[in-house]
Chains A and B, each alone.
Chain A
Amino acid sequence: MYIIIAGGGKVGYNLTKILMDKGHEVTLIEKDKARYAELSEELGDSVLWGDACEVSLLKDAGCNRANVLVAVTGDDEDNLVICQMTKAMFIEKTRTIARVNDPKNESIFVELGVDTTVSTTRVIDALIEEKIESEMLLPLTSLGKGNLEIVQVELSKKSKSVGKKVRELTLPDETILIAALRGDQALVLKGDVDLIADDTIIALTTKENERKLRKML
């Protein structure tokens, strides 16, 4: 494929190298002359100096034969205009991908014709959240063919269930709290047990209700 990348910051530079390694033809456009000099020392003729918002430069970059255009500058308005101009002035079906620096702009970019948006902020948030969530709930063993499982959930000071009695909790369907590990003690979780921070809860639940359980605790 022929891919044009606008913006030679860390994202644009690394993307260029990855795509080149995979055998694609890539042109990287960088506006800042000093940064351009740095990039072209390593990437040679694959780097063009100029403003990707200018149609004349997009033309020099070969925009009329590009399969994909990726706009990854640090300015959302530039990324939007680059994508829109590519479709309006060259080939309508060129796939455009824009980096969105302000996550609030994601949906508007799609409405305005950008094919795909990538929000760095959102990607990182999602990864961190997933990491935190997965650390909070640990499957210990599965029963039968794996539809039921025993899981362990760590409670923190921020957990919703802390300070409540077991009977006051709303639990997902097909879920039973079994025991709490508190210090070196293990308690059977009957209705009148108060949950406290740093308890490790052992529960029986289904694969589908695992996420809900973690949220409710």
Chain B
Amino acid sequence: MAKKKKVIVLGCGRVGARLARTLVEAGHEVIVIDSNADQFRRLGEHFPGKTVMGDGLDIDVLAEAGIEGADVFVAATNGDNTNAMSAQVACRRFKVCRSIVRMYDPIRAGAYREEFGINTICPTEIVSDLIQREIEEGA
């Protein structure tokens, strides 16, 4: 296994929850934050990681979650802007500058990648490119 990492996952939706589970299975330390505690059900019954209910934009919530000393910050909420802001707060306030941020809007994803040096992943681009490839190359 790769070196054990401490990962903060903001947003316990489909992507956040699945990622948290697979990271834990791979032996990493995972802390999941979501403002809606119901979302933690997605993690399954015996999730060994830590869950924190609260607003991921709130500096106090991030501190309480134990962001200090984390290796990676993942922002996977439904809000592009929440993700953009929380990743910048994580870097500025808590020196957790390795972040991976989901952004649905390709233009924002591009701008934050190029102008702000944030590692953004844009599912809109990826999925539409895949579909187009299927259309053009598929039998």
Q: Hey, which bits of chain A sit against chain B, CB under 8 A? A: 53-56, 75-78, 80-81, 84-85, 88-89, 102, 104-105, 108, 111-112
List the count of A-B residue pairs having beta carbons below 8 Å apart: 53
Interface residue SS majority, chain A: helix
User: What is the 8 Å Cβ interface bit string for chain B, positions 69-107, against chain A (1 contact, 0 not)?
Assistant: 000000000011110111011001100000000000101
| Option from A56, A75, A88, A104 in Cβ contact (under 8 Å) with B115 | A88
Q: A76 with B80: in contact, given A53-B108, A104-B59, A112-B92 (CB under 8 Å)?
A: no
Closest to A88 in B: B115
Provide the bound-state CA to CA distance between A46 and B88, in Å.
33
17 contacts between A and B (CB under 8 A): A53-B105, A53-B108, A54-B105, A54-B107, A55-B107, A56-B107, A75-B81, A77-B79, A77-B84, A77-B85, A80-B88, A81-B84, A84-B84, A84-B116, A102-B57, A104-B58, A108-B92
Query: Which residues does chain B contribute within 8 Å of A85, judged by CB atoms?
Result: 108, 111
Closest to B93 in A: A108
| Option from A80, A102, A108 in Cβ contact (under 8 Å) with B84 | A80
Query: Which residues does chain A contribute within 8 Å of B93, judged by CB atoms?
Result: 108
Closest to B82 in A: A77
Expressed in whole angstroms, the minimum distance between the Cβ of B92 and any Cβ of chain A is 6
Provide the bound-state CA to CA distance between A80 and B93, in Å.
16
Q: A112 with B88: in contact, given A53-B81, A54-B105 (CB under 8 Å)?
A: yes
Interface residue SS majority, chain B: helix
Expressed in whole angstroms, the minimum distance between the Cβ of A53 and any Cβ of chain B is 6
Provide the bound-state CA to CA distance between A78 and B86, in Å.
12
Q: Hey, which bits of chain B sit against chain A, CB under 8 A? A: 57-60, 79-82, 84-86, 88-89, 92-93, 105, 107-108, 111, 115-116
Provide the bound-state CA to CA distance between A59 and B82, in Å.
22
Query: Which residues does chain A contribute within 8 Å of B111, judged by CB atoms?
Result: 55, 85, 88-89
Expressed in whole angstroms, the minimum distance between the Cβ of A182 and any Cβ of chain B is 45
CB <8 Å contact, A81 and B107: no
| Option from A56, A77, A112 in Cβ contact (under 8 Å) with B81 | A77
Query: Which residues does chain B contribute within 8 Å of A111, judged by CB atoms?
Result: 92
Expressed in whole angstroms, the minimum distance between the Cβ of A88 and any Cβ of chain B is 4
Query: Which residues does chain A contribute within 8 Å of B92, judged by CB atoms?
Result: 108, 111-112
CB <8 Å contact, A81 and B85: yes
Closest to A109 in B: B85
